[in-house]
Amino acid sequence: MRYIFLLASIVIFTRQAVAISEGQSVPAQIFSLANGDALSISKFQGQVVYLDFWASWCGPCKRSLPWLQEIAERFKERGLRVVAVNLDQNSVDGQKFIRELGLKALEVHFDPDGVSAEAFSVDSMPSSVLIDKSGKVRAVLHGFRESEKEELVTKIEGLL
Amino acid sequence: MSRLIFSVLILFATGCAEVKPWQRGNLARPSMAFDPDPLESKMQQHLYQSKEGGFGGYGIGGGGCGCS
């Protein structure tokens, strides 16, 4: 009886999170975001895309976004697109954050409902996905670590 | 058997809701911290120690034996 109860609990409470992983193709759908904004990753076909999910209240995002801006400027000519998706439930917080840090080189979208985050199975903040020219995921990053920057730059350069 | 059905139904009746990582903005506010003002907490602890001789119980060193 105890085991049946335990099994039922596991079945009911275990969520089958299908996280996006390396080698997978990115979702082809167009995400309808708030304020009439839309995000379509497939429109970047033929370009290397660094897709970053962030929020203004997320501590590591304060370090990752300025670095992303640096990367966006450095590899812009070679065809890298850095797309930063803000997941603040109140987009005004995200806009203020962008203004304060002067992040002008980033393509920022605001997704307060987390539609795109749901599709990309975001499980930590920040989360990033590196997508190659054919639309395949080449790296999935959870969080932001200074020690991973070099390796990531090498990966981006390899894809460009 | 009825106990089993009842147990399974009870599981469905729970009020658990998953908070997605991007929905944790309110939880990340400083006011939601366990100890929003560490300095204030330290002052309070100092007051208790001075006035009542009580010490500890706040997750810091000392078990309330008064021997620190």
Give the separation between CA A82 and CA A52, rounded to whole angstroms.
Answer: 8
- What domains lie within chain A, and their CATH numbers? 20-159 (3.40.30.10)
Nearest to B22 among A4, A93, A122 (CB): A122
Nearest to B21 among A5, A12, A122 (CB): A122
pLDDT beyond 70 at A11: no
Q: How far is B5 from chain A (nearest CA, A)?
A: 10
Answer yes or no: do A53 and B22 touch at CB < 8 A. Answer: yes
Of the listed ranges A2-16, A26-40, A64-78, B41-55, the one predicted with least confidence: A2-16
| Positions of chain B with pLDDT lower than 70, given as ranges | 56-68
- Farthest CA pair distance, chain A: 65
* Contacts A10 to B, Cβ<8 Å: none
pLDDT of the residue at A6: 65
pLDDT of the residue at A63: 93
Residue B32 contacts residue A57 (beta carbons within 8 Å): no
**Per-residue pLDDT reduced to its tens digit, A108-158:** 999 999 989 998 889 899 999 999 999 899 999 999 999 999 999 999 999
- Contact partners, residue A15, CB within 8 Å, separation at least 6: B18
Q: What is the DSSP letter of A19?
A: -
* Contacts A58 to B, Cβ<8 Å: 28
- Residue A28's φ and ψ, nearest 5 degrees, are -80, -10
